[in-house]
A and B are shown apart, each in its own frame.
Chain A
Amino acid sequence: MKFTLSWLKDHLETSASLDEIVEALTRIGLEVENLENPAAKYAGFVVARVIEARQHPNADRLRVCIVDADGEPVQVVCGAPNARTGMKSVFSPVGTYIPGKKITLTKGTIRGVDSNGMLCSAAELELSEDHTGIIDLPADAPVGVPYATYAGLDDPVIEINLTPNRPDATAVSGIARDLAAAGLGTLKTKAPAPVAGKFDCPVKVRLDFAPADAHLCPAFALRLVRGVKNGPSPEWMQKRLRAIGLRPINALVDITNYVTFDRGRPLHVFDAAKVAGDLTVRRARKGEKVLALDGRLYELDDSAVVIADEKGVESIAGIMGGEHTGCDERTTDVLIESALWDPVNIAQSGRKLGIVTDARYRFERGVDPAFCIPGAELATEMVIELCGGEPSRLFVAGAPPKGTKLVDFPFSEVRRLTGLDIPKAEGEAILAKLGFAVLSDDKVEAPSWRPDIDGKADIVEQIVRIAGLDRVPPNPLERLEPSVAKPVLTLLQKRTRTAKRALAALGLREAVTWSFIAEPTAELFGGGNPALALANPIAADLSDMRPSLIPGLAAAAERNARRGFRDVALFEVGQIFLGTGERDQRVAAAALRRGLAKAEGAGRHWLGGGGAVDVFDAKADAFALLAALGVPTGGLQIVPGGARFLHPGRSARLQFGPQNVIGWFGQLHPDALEALDMEGPIAAFEIVLDALPAPKARSTKAKAKLERSEFMPVERDLAFVVEKSVPAADLVRAAQAAERNLVAAAQVFDVYEGQGVPPGRKSVAISVTLQPKDRTLTDAEIDAVIAKIVAEAARKTGAALRG
């Protein structure tokens, strides 16, 4: 909402300065978003008289002018053909910024003659396109007065960031009312007087609605003014309209725009000569078309309300008029419409048609119903004043509702909701100034222009915003119980926090990537459910809710690679989406390593290593995370292979049984890399934190008793030869199973294929630790256990000791 200071002062008698007004507006909830003084642009330009204009001695087309700008006469060289002795024009001294030329004037010498400033054209001041000559001011223009003041441009434009609950402040008069209530002056808005009609309005209006639709147009007032002379509106009106960004059209149209801003009362004018028969207000029929005033053809359906004559739709109700019946210079008879429309319907139709107008802006917020008829009277008065003509009586179809609302309001509510002790008299005075009627028995009547007032809290809001929120004293929030703060985080919240710190400690950098990804990528990673595709994505590659964190991390790695950082290690802990239900959202933790960003350090190193990332980097990260989260991995199964975006021979699923998959680790499939348009290798893992088992509930914080054997553990190395396809884990499990009471650990320390091992087989060396509990083992006992392990390995995996 924009208005000018002088416009505001039409409604507000005030001695407050601009700064005070601006400060007060923000303080009472009409936040000033922008303050612009057009005069600032014309700083330096003054009205001046050309004392003498004589021919330049060295140039035919130039004149040397001696200028009086209320000081020492100044000499300037001027190229304008109309420069002449005695004329009044606009002068800018050296140092002035010329907006039309985007330069700051300096002292110059033109063909040997000094020039100390400039006489200006309208184009140089950006007042018009006219650059044929310097501005020719009337002879009575006062020399030395700033041009902006003389031309009436010194009128600051205030723009407020209006919240959608305040239709009353879409009017300059409404803003003035708020300021007056805040003590910045006296409201002096005049109520329009009824205009006495000379004849009946020849055009009748019929509200053609089913009873259930009656709310779509509660009232429609229409009046004919005949014999008008339409032309440009007066300069003062044009200036104000231009200042707030509107283009003056002609007096009749400008009046409607003016009243829209002045009183928040949108109006429409029809050229009566172009209207055929009576008007009908009704729902549009599907497929009906109307050429609107913006020059565009709109196709309507029955959700919109229209005003039609015998030929068809002439106006989209409350949103935009039709081109066909628009008023122009030839208009002699004008129909003035002041109607009420349903806010919800206007909002929906406006959104559907994509039309944003000052009328829609007001009607969808709720126009004052009580001003429907006065608005028509005000418009009539202005039409007669500016265009002449003879008014008809007002034809009113329907009847405007009263619009006031009775609200229960015990004054104690102010203190209850805010803690502010404000004197009752002061609070009630504020309400009265805002147009609220304070009734007896704790009731308040909200005025018709405040449809936003709903309950007593809204009344409290009016009082505190005008009285000043700074008067509300802060008071401490006491603890609910006088005790040390209790832990509040859930298991998942704790695990999420720990997961982030743990993954960062592994040298991974935390990324936060979009929750939505491209549809093909979502599909590749197990998503692509149409229910999870946005109906209105902001971009094609941000269309589907992510089923996995990996696509976002992969894209991030690729962006880094394209900037020259190829070896990156990233992680994210965040939401993934399996469906649109509220239980279909999970928290996943995922990490991705690319290029040489191995777990033991990125890039080449003089100590060796420095190879490309592989499945074991991903596995290391995954297991480090599980360890950090305290998830026991004894029962965790590593099932080779995985989803189709994973390398089938270099990936695995992590599960506590087939029904309890917690995630995966592995290298991405080359096809997946191709689909993602990136170079590998990429090693990654993803674990769903919600799927992890909760720790066992325990009745005590004390840890279980530590059992330590007094006897030395014995370690033996065993090298087996086994089919290549046999997982090493099977061999380890066999070793552990052979003698559970003694085998404390079994670990693979070497895997070898090649010379000395038959083709198709591999050598797997494991180190077995035997831990006796009650006595030292004899050599014979150790040999017996080892024999048992070898036998078990042979039975379970077909392994043989390497000879």
Chain B
Amino acid sequence: MTDLLELESQTLAAIDGAGDEAALEAVRVGALGKKGVISALLASLGKMSPDERKIQGAAINGLKDKVSEALAARKAALKAKAREAQLAAEAVDVTLPARVSGLETGRIHPITQVTDELTAIFVDMGFSIAEGPDIESDDYNFTKLNFPPSHPARDMHDTFFFPPDASGERKLLRTHTSPVQVRTMLAQKPPIRVVCPGRTYRSDADQTHTPMFHQVEGLVIDRTANLGQLKWVLEEFCKAFFEVPHVAMRFRPSFFPFTSPSMEVDIQCRRSGGEIRFGEGEDWLEILGCGMVHANVLRNCGLDPDVWQGYAWGLGIDRIAMLKYGMPDLRDFFEADIRWLDHYGFRPLDLPTLAGGLSG
């Protein structure tokens, strides 16, 4: 028995002393392997008398269990230690910068964002989106819109022209999105509810004018559309677009060849510093032109003005973008200065929705 006790203490000491899994395995093989000391003791049981076997058997098996347990415990401890060492070795400086995602650096231009905002509002009101070419005929840009040839009203638009083609026709860059009205009326039967965003061009350049700019046209044609409805549409639009509960608008009589009565619309605001707030204040700011579609325009587009009636409006997308988001200079819109784009641009997934709010 003394031998067994000594063997036990020696073996357990060896297990404790094993510095790594290999050393521990050597101890295990030495004790419990095929040729191990304890295995040999177990093998010797068969040569013993039943009585002796009973006593020795319990003692040797007890030793085996103890050693097995100690081996397992030591193995777990060694594994934990090794894992710890591994983790320590794998540690990095987590303050180092990761690769930057495009979602962080990408930007949407304010014109796109505002166009998406307009679309969300007007589509909810039941409008479709119509488009037309930038290079237009004089007929669609002017004549069908009731601009008589050589009338001074044409001088209100500083028009870019192309050289006359073989047939003598001189095309132009559309000076407004109104020709899309004509295209829509010629292409589809009333009732019509469309908005037409797009690029427009006038030969003009200063702080508030660029030779290219963006407009959105609106057109409603049916049997009952009237000025009161136009007022409602524009007021609802302005509230939704500027995201304010209330706006005050002023409709002033004006003149456009393609509408009668014609109006310009001012919106009430307060200016302080570089900031403009809507729905309060003492100032009036002109934001759009509108009116009842002129009978001649309806006729030119094949509609009987005694049966069909409607209204139209046009407003500057760049202009309302500036008003809403506070860019001071129109020219910056087309400069692509990345500092400006980073600052005034929108994040890639800032998709305006009415459900989530236009500007988040």
Contacts and interface: CB of A to CB of B under 8 A. Distances in A.
Interface in A492-538: 493, 497, 500-516, 530-538
Given A472-B231, A500-B112, A538 B211 contact: yes
A456 B104 CA distance: 58
B337 A457 contact: no
A502 B348 CA distance: 7
B51 interface: no
Contacts of B162: 531-535, 580
Interface stretch (A12-20, A212-220, A323-331, A459-467): A459-467
Interface stretch (A289-297, A385-393, A560-568, A720-728): A560-568
Contacts of B292: 417-418, 457, 460
Contacts of A515: 134, 173, 199, 201, 212
B351 to A, nearest CB: 7
Interface stretch (B10-18, B25-33, B253-261): B253-261
B228 A472 contact: yes
Contacts of A461: 253, 260-262
Nearest to B164: A535
Residue from B103, B296, B341 having most chain A Cβ neighbours under 10 A: B341
Contacts of B116: 497
B227 interface: yes
Interface string B317-340: 000000000000000011111110
B22 to A, nearest CB: 33
Contacts of A503: 106
Contact of A480 (B112, B124, B126, B263): B126
A455 B102 contact: no
Contact of A419 (B205, B229, B235): B229
Contact of A31 (B165, B254, B262): B254
A163 B262 CA distance: 11
B203 interface: yes
Given A344-B150, A507-B102, A533-B163, A512 B109 contact: yes
A489 B162 CA distance: 31
A504 B264 CA distance: 37
B106 A344 contact: no
Interface residues of B, number: 96
Contact of A538 (B106, B129, B203): B203
A605 B212 CA distance: 39
Interface residues of A, number: 97
Contacts of A426: none
Nearest to A511: B336
A716 interface: no
Interface in A190-224: none
B212 A510 contact: no
A26 B286 CA distance: 12
Nearest to A463: B261
Interface string A321-348: 0000000000000000000000110011
A355 to B, nearest CB: 14
A452 B235 CA distance: 29
Given A417-B226, A575-B134, A606 B233 contact: no
A167 to B, nearest CB: 10
B152 A575 contact: no
B233 to A, nearest CB: 5
A477 B109 contact: no
Interface in B151-196: 151-153, 155-156, 160-163, 165, 170-171, 173, 191, 193
B55 interface: no
Contacts of A560: 336-338
Interface in B126-150: 126-129, 131-135, 148-150
A475 B261 contact: no
A455 B295 contact: yes
Contact of A536 (B161, B204, B231, B336): B161
Nearest to B101: A507
Interface in A451-488: 452, 454-458, 460-461, 464-465, 469-470, 472-477, 479-480, 485, 488
Contacts of A419: 226-229
Contacts of A516: 211-212
Contacts of A563: 337
Nearest to B205: A538
A130 interface: no
Interface string B236-259: 000000000000001111110100
A513 B210 CA distance: 12
A747 interface: no
A584 B134 CA distance: 10
A532 B161 CA distance: 10
A497 B233 CA distance: 25
A477 B111 contact: no
Interface stretch (B41-49, B81-89, B92-100, B270-278): B92-100
Nearest to B286: A31
Contacts of B345: 509-510
A602 interface: yes
B253 A489 contact: no
A164 B254 CA distance: 10
A358 to B, nearest CB: 14
Contacts of A514: 211-212, 334
Contacts of A534: 160-162, 173
B227 A565 contact: no
A537 B341 contact: no
B199 A509 contact: no
A472 B193 CA distance: 22
A597 B170 CA distance: 43
Contact of A477 (B108, B156, B199, B220): B220
B294 A457 contact: yes
A796 interface: no
Given A28-B253, A535-B163, A580-B171, A512 B106 contact: no
B58 interface: no
A166 B151 CA distance: 12
Contacts of B207: none
A163 B111 CA distance: 30
A29 interface: yes
Nearest to B166: A531
Nearest to A568: B338
A498 to B, nearest CB: 10
B309 interface: yes
B208 interface: no
A474 B341 contact: no
13 contacts: A348-B150, A365-B152, A418-B226, A455-B260, A480-B193, A501-B348, A502-B348, A503-B106, A505-B106, A507-B103, A533-B162, A580-B162, A602-B100
Given A474-B235, A577-B135, 15 more contacts: A417-B309, A419-B229, A420-B228, A460-B261, A464-B261, A475-B226, A497-B116, A501-B108, A510-B109, A512-B336, A513-B334, A515-B134, A556-B335, A559-B336, A582-B135
Interface of B: 96-97, 99-109, 111-112, 116, 119, 123-129, 131-135, 148-153, 155-156, 160-163, 165, 170-171, 173, 191, 193, 199, 201, 203-205, 211-212, 220, 225-229, 231-233, 235, 250-255, 257, 260-264, 292, 294-296, 305, 309, 333-339, 341-342, 345, 347-349, 351
- 4 residue pairs, one from A and one from B, having the closest CB atoms: A29-B253, A507-B102, A419-B228, A163-B255
